[in-house]
A and B are shown apart, each in its own frame.
Chain A
Amino acid sequence: QQPVQSPQAVILREGEDAVINCSSSKALYSVHWYRQKHGEAPVFLMILLKGGEQKGHEKISASFNEKKQQSSLYLTASQLSYSGTYFCGTGRRQNSGNTPLVFGKGTRLSVIA
Chain B
Amino acid sequence: KQEVTQIPAALSVPEGENLVLNCSFTDSAIYNLQWFRQDPGKGLTSLLLIQSSQREQTSGRLNASLDKSSGRSTLYIAASQPGDSATYLCAVETSYDKVIFGPGTSLSVIP
Verify that A and B bind, or say they do not: no
A interface list, Cβ under 8 A from B: none
